[in-house]
Amino acid sequence: MIGFFEGKRTMFRYFWLASLLFFLLLGCGEREREETLATVNGDTITKGEFETYLDFKRIPEGDEEKKKRLLDQYLEREALAAVIEEEPLLDKDLIQAELNEFRKQMLISRYFEKYLRGKVTDQAIQNHYNIHAEEYEDRKVHAAHILIRTNRTMTEPERKAKLTTAQEAYSKIKAGEDFAEVAKAYSEDKVSSKKGGDLGWMKEGSIDPRFSETLFSLEPGTVSEPFETPFGFHVVKVIEGPQVVKRPFDAVKGDIRYQLRNEAKKAELDRLMSQAEIEKK
């Protein structure tokens, strides 16, 4: 039993010494940071202030030569700013307003920079992609078209003449002529007409609503009657499709990150503003 209490006393003594040493070191660290490096126009510059400045400039711990050079620059700028502050040339109220705006902007931006880094992680982005998989699926069809262009300045007779041309092209296709050959002869879309009207794979909703609606209502191999969009009169054909294609994670993770950051920022803004008190007089 005596040995047990002796062991307890020994453990307590070690604990007390360790605690004392910790607080002594902590006190030494605090005193070291309060150590005066220089005075500028009577104002004290402490070691702690300069070390915080070095952290801000991201200066490596062991680069003593650079620290010495930066200290000289730091003190010179402090001195210069202190002297200029007493000069009558500048509008002090305006300077103070600018400084205050900079302070607010810095506080807000630094806070959200750190907050969002912890909130919107790579894992959070991956989880969102997995849970909302259907949002990243696109319906696509392989399409071709014939375009007879119109514009707002056309008269009604000119517009009707364009429609007649589109109907003529459609009639030739219905009579059995090859769509690609008719597109080369009639289409005013110079890029696709060279390829027989081929537009490649078109994503649903990525084009004019009337064009998209007509295109995705067709069966593969079928051709639409002429219809109008702001670009002119179209005759469209579905070559293949439709197919559902899922956009890969790497292609959308930037958009997801942007979305999640905006959502998290808005929620945190609402929380912070709920703590603020604004009273207009």
7-43 b/e (C-beta count within 10 Å ≥ 16 → b) = eeeeeeeeeeeeeeeeeeeeeeeeeeeeeeebebeee
For the chain, the straight-line distance linking the first and the last C-alpha, in angstroms and rounded, comes to 75
Chain mean position to CA 165: 47
* The domain made up of 138-246 is a member of CATH 3.30.70.270: no
Sign of the C-alpha dihedral computed for residues 223, 214, 201 and 229 taken in this order:
positive
Q: Could you tell me the pTM of the whole model?
A: 0.54
Q: What is the pLDDT along the chain (281 residues), one digit of tens a residue?
A: 444 445 445 544 544 444 444 444 445 456 777 899 899 888 899 989 988 988 888 888 777 888 888 999 999 999 999 899 888 898 989 999 999 999 999 999 999 999 998 889 999 999 999 999 888 988 999 999 999 999 999 999 999 999 999 999 999 999 999 999 999 999 999 999 999 999 999 998 888 999 999 999 999 999 999 999 999 999 999 999 888 888 899 999 999 999 999 999 999 999 999 999 998 88
Tell me which long-range contacts 43-51 makes (C-beta under 8 A, separation of at least 24).
Answer: 43/78, 43/82, 45/74, 45/75, 45/78, 50/74
Instruction: Give the domain ranges of the chain.
Output: 1-30, 34-90, 138-246
